[in-house]
Structure 1
Amino acid sequence: MNTTNEKLWTWSFVNVWLSNFFVFLVFYLLFVTMPIFIIDTGAGEGAAGLVITIFLLSAILIRPLSGHWVENLGRMPILITALIIFFVSSALYLLTEALPFILLIRFLHGIGFGMATTVLGALAADVIPDRRKGEGMGYFAMSMNFAMVIGPFLGLTLLQSFNYTIMFLSCAIAAVVALLTGVTIRVPGTRTGATVDRGSVIPKLDGLFEKSVIPIAVTGAIVALAYAGVLSFVSVYATDLGLGQAASYFFMVYAIVLLISRPFTGRWFDQYGENVIVIPAIVTFGIGLIVLSMANSAIMLLVSGGLIGLGWGTMVPSMQTIALQKVPERAGSATATFFTIFDIGVGFGSYIVGVAATGIGFSSLYFNSSFVVFSAVFLYMWLHGKKKRSNHQAEIEYTS
């Protein structure tokens, strides 16, 4: 059977993509601008870091519960609730500059973000044809990748050209678009409501995580330790090198490489299996870190951005697809488990990288981080890769 005969870009997939894009657009826009806003209000750098931490903390805490609710109470009720929370909290930024209220809004915003991204990941898995899962999840992940490029650029541009009121108003508008596109998603009939006990709101402790997903999530979290250093400090590193202007194009190159490679890597995942994609992706990311550590020109900096974009941008959706394939009937719980552990890796990585960079410098940091990434190849093979069935191609009935 030829997988290309199964339509991928359906009405529902487009709307899942758009809703996820606008949710992450707000996330990345505020990720780079909220610390500036807090410092400008006179609260200090410690408080600026706290507004990021409290958002991520609430998102991480809500994810396991969200996965349970998605499976037990249905996709759409949880999606609509999450997107309303996300919109309301986005709009509340317009009403106050007081730090205690900002922190409360950030906590609420993180809850909406964690819930929304969990259910949207499950919905993406629902509407993508089974035999195009790798390809489809790759395209879905591009909604996050594009938001990562556009969000910071838009946020900083709005601050330079307008003011915080316009910036927060833009976030509220984006959140409205996320809500409007979300409510028009057409969920497959078997996924519209509960699949277990509709009255089960508070899960048992052993029901919070999908155990089969933990190995691949842990592997991703190890690589995320290194990626946190790129996400948080590449602009600072580039400025120290006198390449501040080139740094603004780093993630643009990242996104362009993703756009070019995505049609191929996703199809190869479906055709040849996960090992053929995941292992080279991890290695490519590690090589990108080495190039970054040696960057002494704009060209080298941008080449590293392309390698990191190709490696990281291919690895994450591939690992998420593996997680979904572990328990396809519980996509919400699988998504929640994967990203809960994954986000913990990013959170710890941001702290570890900040401490390490103070002692050894960014160049040494990125170079040594590459070995953490390379070690993930062996961890992947030990926890998952060697267990992959050899008849993967026959199993998915793919023919070119």
Structure 2
Amino acid sequence: MTTITPTTENEIVEAVQWALAEQAPVEVIGYGSKRDLGRPLQTEHTIALSGYAGVTLYEPDELVLSARAGTPMAELETLVAENGQAFQFEPMDYGPLLGQPAGQGSLGGLLATNLCGPRRLKAGSARDHVLGVRVVSGRGELFKSGGRVVKNVTGYDLSKGMANSWGTLGIATEITFKVLPTPETETTLVIRGLADDEAARAMAIAMGSSGEVAAAAHLPGNVAGRVIDGALNGAASTLLRVEGFAPSVADRAGMLKGLLATAGEVDALPQETSRRLWREVRDVIPFADATERPVWRVSMVPMQAYKLVASLRMGAAVDAFYDWQGGLVWLRMEGDPEAEAVRALIRTYGGGHATLVRAPASVRAALPVFEPQPAPLAALSKRLKQQFDPSGILNPGRMVAGV
């Protein structure tokens, strides 16, 4: 197996042109932190972007950052934090869940997998913050899309099109993101002891209020004990994050406590504990158990999520917790991934999609890891792949067998 580690953009172009000339499919990675996510690849060659790293532009006053694709996200997050800024979409780190060290993800991987975190409902995902990108297509051609300001797009926005493409359309070489100021302070309100259905209603009330809740999640009792060193005492915990200027946070937190007083006891976590808690929710730390037990990421209607989990538990051993007000459900199965049951129940409870995030390679090779697309959308995806990578040399089969 050959690993090519380019150190310049021209070398990336040359690597793709070589693969195209040889009709040699290649795996595209940064540092490999998400290598075990998606369908297993059968390639003899790898293009690793870890050698093509570094910040090319950072203007804190303009809220703009550009960097090469191999730049570690940990370095970028440290850099912007020193200037009181952050990637507000709160990109998760898949490393711990997949048995890899934390902090190994790259900027290119962030865009390719369209990362986000608990603030998704308020801030969106990576695709909502990307301003511009330079890409080498599967044709071996370099192109750019977007730029370094927010309002500069006409026609198709290919910068956003690269998000969630999993390296199957092109290799991003340099990416520009907008960054935003870090909230001055935050607190997390914790409601103890709610059942899943009660938590769903409480989160809906909070998110529909004027409290400007930045994130809402529910950890059932068997999950709550696995975060922040057990500080939640293993009690089912419904979490509401409030952030902004200190006086506003205090005022809104007080209002929410009054609004939810009938739901149960409401505690408030201090800022540092709150930030750590949401990082652990973001990175699915409750299921980062150094095993290959199947883990699903399910996106669906928030008020239907607890019904799906309850129905699953009638026939399978499953742990679950809820983010995005219940719109994102993390499921850990004890044995069989129960793919047919999971996807059938999603259809029963209003629709959505499920991604098999973790499982042994043999399982991921045999099942649709990503939600199967309706025929018209699948045809469109194939046409897009044909336009960008007609020979199918970039991450072939990563998302769909044969594509």
Same fold (TM over 0.5): no
Larger Rg: 2
Q: Which has the higher strand share?
A: 2
TM-score normalised by length of structure 2: 0.25
TM-score normalised by length of structure 1: 0.25
Higher relative contact order (CA 8 A, sep 6+): 1
Q: Which has the higher helix share?
A: 1
